[in-house]
A and B are shown apart, each in its own frame.
Chain A
Amino acid sequence: METIKNVSVSEASFSGRLEGFEQQYIDLYKQYHEQIKQHSAPVMNVSRNASFGLFEQLGFPTSKLENYKYTDLKESLSGEYGLNLNRLKIPVNPYEVFKCDVPGIHSYLYFVVNDGFYPVNDARNETLPEGVIIGSLSKMAEVHPELIENYYGKLSCTKKDGLVAFNGAFAQDGFFMYVPQNVQLDRPVQLINIMRSDVDFMANSHNLIILGKGAKAQLLVCDHTVDDVRFLSNRVTEVFVGENATYEHYKLENTHTRTTNLSTLLIDQQASSNVLGNIITLHNGVTRNTIEIDIDGENCETLLCGMVIADKKQQVDNFTSIIHNQPNSNSRELFKYVLDDLSKGGFTGKLYVARDAQKTSAFQTNRNILLNKSAKMRTKPQLEIYADDVKCSHGATIGQLDETAKFYMQSRGIPEKEARLLLMYAFTGDVIENIRIDALQDRMKLLVEKRLRGELSKCEGCVICQ
C-alpha cells in the first residue's frame, strides 16, 4: 500500500538518489545561499558552493547505494522541515532547564541547540586549562581563522557522500574544540545536541575537534530531542588526533521515535595516537552513524565500540570504516545490538589495510540478539587487505537469547522476565566496560538496565523531557 508519492520516489531512486526530496533543498540553497553565508564564517563558506555542487550531483543517499544498503531515508525525508538559516534565537536556555548531567562526571558542559552553538553561560565562570579553546565553530573561525582553515573540511569535503555534502552546503555553526600540544584535559567535555522546535525541524551542524601532539581529551556527545515534532539532524564531526595524543569519543543517543539522526564522524589519527570511540544508541527513531577512522601514522591504537537497543519501529545503521594506511597499528571493533518488535539494525564493518600497512592487527566483532521474529538485523564485514603480513579477523553472529541459560536462571528462582533482562544486560556488558569515564560507565549501566526494562523512553533526569 505505497502512496503515489513513494512510488514515484522508488522509480526515481535507481540512480541512488531520492529525486523527489532533493529539489526543495536545491531551490532553497539557490535562493538563500547569501543568507546562509552571511550567518556563518568565511572559513566555512570557502567550500560551501562546492559542497552544494556535490550534493546536486549525489542527492540524498538511498538504500540502492552499497554504503547505504541498510539505511532507508524515504520516510524521513518526506514532508517538510523548517530550517533556521537566519540564525534566529531559539527561546530556550539549556543551562537553566536541561539538567541531563551524569552524576559525578564533572564535565565541561556545552550545548548545541538545533544547529547552533549555545553561548556559554557567563555566570559559570569556569576556566579551561591553558590554551584550550572550546566554543562556537563559526565564532572561533572568525577569531582564529588561521587555526581552523587548516582543518575545516579537510576530512569531509572530499567525501562522496550526499549527507556530508548536504551538511557542507547548509551547516553554519557547530562545536569547536582545540587542545594544544601536551595539554591534557582534566575533565571530560560534554556536548549536548538538543532538538527544540514547535514545527518539524531540520538541523545541520558541523563540529571540529583538534588535538595537538600529546594532547588528551574525552568528549561525550549526547543527542536529545525535546518537542514532539519530527526532527532531522545531519551532523558532521571532524576530529584530528595529533601524534601521541589520546582521544575518546562517546556518543549517546536518546531521542524520540520521530527523530532522524544522521551523523558522520571522521577521525584522523597521527602516529602513536590512541582513539576510543563508543557509539551507543539507547533510544531513537531512524539513526545512521557513519564512522570513519583513518590511521595515518604508525603504532596507533584504535578501539571502536558500539551498542544498540531498539524496539518498536526503530532503525539503526552503523556504518564503520577503519583505514590502516600505515604499518604497526592495532584496531579493534566491537558492536552489539539487541533488537525487539519491528526494529531494524544494520552494521557494516569496513576494514581497509593498505599495501604498506604491514604488521597491522585488526579484529572485528558484531553480535546481535533478536528478541522476536519480526526484528531484523543485517550485518556485513567488508575487508580489503592489500598487505601480506597482517593479523585480521572478523566475526558476526545473529541469534536469540540463550534459552538454556534462561531456563538455568529460572531453575534458581529468577523469573523469566528478570532472566531475560540479566542475559541482555550481560550481552551488552563488554561494550559498557569500554567506557573509560567511571561516572559515565555507572550511569550507562543504570540507563541500559532501565532501557531493557522498558522504563526509559526518554532521557532520565531531563527536566525538559518530563
Chain B
Amino acid sequence: MNTTNNNQSQTLTSPLLERLGEALLTIKNLHANINGKEILKGLDLTVRPGEIHAIMGPNGAGKSTLASVLTGNPAFEVTHGSVTFQGKDLLELAPEQRANEGIFLSFQYPVEIPGVSMVNFMRTAINEQRKYRGLDQISATDFLRLMREKKELVEMDNKLANRSVNEGFSGGEKKRNEIFQMAMLDPSLSILDETDSGLDIDALRIVANGVNKLKRPNNASIVITHYQRLLDYIIPDFVHVLYDGKIVKSGTKDLAFELEERGYDWIKQEVEEAP
C-alpha cells in the first residue's frame, strides 16, 4: 500500500510541481466513502496561489466526490488523509466556514431553491462572509452595485437575478449563475465541476472570460472537465487524470490534447500494469 502511494507521489513530484511558495491547498493520501463505499482511494494534490489545475478522468472516477469532500458535503466520510487550506486543517471546518475561508464550488448540478430569491440568497451569503471576516454588513447601495457589476461580468439576464435561486433556470443558465455567485463571493480557491457542460459556445466563452477576469496572483482554480475545449479558454498550468479515486497522471495542457485523442484506456492500462 505504502509503496503504491510512493509511486503515485513520484508521478506528482515532477519538476513542474516544484514551484516555490506556500501551497494554498495540500491534499495528502485522501480516502473518502459514501454509504460505506470507498470512492477516493489515496488522493494527493497540491495547489499553489496563481495556479489553474484541470482535473479530467472517466465518469465515476471520483472527481465530483473530491469537490464534495473539499467543500464538506456531509454525505461523504473522510476515512484517511489530510487537507490543508491556507495553513488550516480544512477537514475540521463546517461547510460554511470553508466557504468563508475562501473555497467556492461551482456545482456540477446546481440546486434549485424555490421561494428563496437570488437577491436574498446573495445578500445573506455576502453578509455572512463579511461577518466571518469581521466586517460590517454591506450597505444596500454597495450591494446593488456589486450585483450589477458581477451580472455584467457573466452577462447574466436581470430577470434571472430576480427569481428564486436556480428555480426553472435552464441548464446553461444555472451554470452561468454559478459563475455569477463565484464573482460575487470572490473566492481564493474555486472548484469548477463541469461548468462547461451544458453551455452553448457563446456561453462557454462568456463563462470562461468571467473566470479569467477573476484570476489573480493569489487565488487558484481547480477545473474539472471532460473536454479539452474549455482549456482553450481557461489555460491550465497542470492537467491531472483522476482515475479510480486517485490522481494517476499529471502533466501540462498537452496531456489534455492527448486524452482528447486517445481516451482513457491507455491510462487505465498504465495503472493496471504498475507494480
Does residue A412 face the partner (Cβ distance < 8 Å to B)? yes
Q: Is the CB of A405 within 8 A of B111?
A: yes
Does residue B110 face the partner (Cβ distance < 8 Å to A)? yes
Residues 392-409 of chain A, each 1 if its beta carbon lies under 8 Å from chain B, else 0 = 000000000011110111
Assembly CA distance A256 to B93 (angstroms): 39
- Shortest C-beta distance, B73 to chain A (Å), equals 6
Q: Is the CB of B116 within 8 A of A412?
A: no
- Shortest C-beta distance, A440 to chain B (Å), equals 20
Does residue B120 face the partner (Cβ distance < 8 Å to A)? yes
Assembly CA distance A94 to B185 (angstroms): 51
Assembly CA distance A407 to B74 (angstroms): 8
Assembly CA distance A407 to B120 (angstroms): 17
Assembly CA distance A427 to B115 (angstroms): 7
Q: Is the CB of A430 within 8 A of B95?
A: no
Assembly CA distance A411 to B128 (angstroms): 12
Name the one of B96, B112, B115, B120 contacting A410, with C-beta atoms under 8 angstroms. Answer: B96
Contacts of A427 in B (CB 8 A): 115
- Shortest C-beta distance, A186 to chain B (Å), equals 32
Contacts of B74 in A (CB 8 A): 403, 407
Name the one of A403, A405, A414, A423 contacting B96, with C-beta atoms under 8 angstroms. Answer: A414
Name the one of A410, A411, A413, A416 contacting B129, with C-beta atoms under 8 angstroms. Answer: A413
Name the one of A403, A409, A412, A425 contacting B185, with C-beta atoms under 8 angstroms. Answer: A412
Interface residues of B in 92-109 (CB under 8 A from A): 94-96, 98-100, 104-105, 107
Q: Is the CB of A410 within 8 A of B116?
A: no
- Shortest C-beta distance, A311 to chain B (Å), equals 21
Q: Is the CB of A411 within 8 A of B114?
A: no
Assembly CA distance A415 to B105 (angstroms): 16
Assembly CA distance A422 to B120 (angstroms): 9
Considering only CB atoms, which chain A residue lies closest to B109 in the complex?
A404
Contacts of B95 in A (CB 8 A): 407, 410-411, 416
- Shortest C-beta distance, B247 to chain A (Å), equals 23
Q: Is the CB of A418 within 8 A of B115?
A: no
Residues 81-101 of chain B, each 1 if its beta carbon lies under 8 Å from chain A, else 0 = 000000000000011101110
Considering only CB atoms, which chain A residue lies closest to B95 in the complex?
A410
Does residue A429 face the partner (Cβ distance < 8 Å to B)? yes
Q: Is the CB of B113 within 8 A of A411?
A: no
Contacts of B100 in A (CB 8 A): 413
Name the one of A411, A414, A422, A430 contacting B105, with C-beta atoms under 8 angstroms. Answer: A411
Does residue A426 face the partner (Cβ distance < 8 Å to B)? yes
Name the one of A409, A418, A430 contacting B113, with C-beta atoms under 8 angstroms. Answer: A409
Assembly CA distance A395 to B115 (angstroms): 19
Q: Is the CB of B185 within 8 A of A413?
A: yes
- Shortest C-beta distance, A429 to chain B (Å), equals 4
User: Which of A404, A411, A426, A429 gathers most chain B CB within 10 Å?
Assistant: A411
Interface residues of B in 183-215 (CB under 8 A from A): 185
Given A407-B95, A410-B95, A411-B95, do A422 and B124 touch, yes or no (CB 8 Å)?
yes
Considering only CB atoms, which chain A residue lies closest to B116 in the complex?
A426
Given A405-B111, A418-B128, A430-B115, do A412 and B121 touch, yes or no (CB 8 Å)?
yes
Assembly CA distance A414 to B132 (angstroms): 10
Contacts of B112 in A (CB 8 A): 405
Q: Is the CB of A405 within 8 A of B121?
A: no
Does residue B181 face the partner (Cβ distance < 8 Å to A)? yes
Given A413-B128, A416-B94, do A408 and B107 touch, yes or no (CB 8 Å)?
yes
Considering only CB atoms, which chain B residue lies closest to A407 in the complex?
B73
- Shortest C-beta distance, A132 to chain B (Å), equals 38
Contacts of A411 in B (CB 8 A): 71-72, 95-96, 98-99, 104-105, 107
Assembly CA distance A423 to B113 (angstroms): 8
Contacts of B116 in A (CB 8 A): 409, 422-423, 426
Assembly CA distance A408 to B74 (angstroms): 11
Q: Is the CB of A415 within 8 A of B107?
A: no
Q: Is the CB of B111 within 8 A of A415?
A: no
Does residue B125 face the partner (Cβ distance < 8 Å to A)? yes
User: Which of B74, B111, B164, B185 gathers most chain A CB within 10 Å?
Assistant: B111
Q: Is the CB of B96 within 8 A of A408?
A: no
Contacts of B125 in A (CB 8 A): 409, 412-414
Contacts of A415 in B (CB 8 A): 94, 96, 128
Q: Is the CB of B111 within 8 A of A408?
A: yes
Considering only CB atoms, which chain A residue lies closest to B115 in the complex?
A426
Interface residues of B in 113-137 (CB under 8 A from A): 113-116, 120-121, 124-125, 128-129, 132
Residues of B within 8 A of A (CB): 71-74, 94-96, 98-100, 104-105, 107, 110-116, 120-121, 124-125, 128-129, 132, 164-165, 181, 185
Add 11 more A-B contacts to A410-B94, A411-B71, A416-B94 (CB < 8 A).
A408-B113, A410-B99, A411-B99, A412-B125, A413-B125, A413-B132, A415-B94, A415-B96, A419-B96, A425-B115, A426-B116
Pairs across A and B, CB under 8 Å, 15 listed:
A402-B113, A404-B111, A407-B73, A407-B111, A408-B107, A408-B165, A409-B116, A411-B105, A413-B96, A418-B128, A419-B96, A423-B116, A426-B114, A426-B116, A430-B115
9 cross-chain pairs, A with B, having the tightest CB-CB distances, nearest first: A426-B115, A413-B99, A410-B95, A408-B111, A412-B125, A429-B115, A410-B96, A413-B100, A426-B116
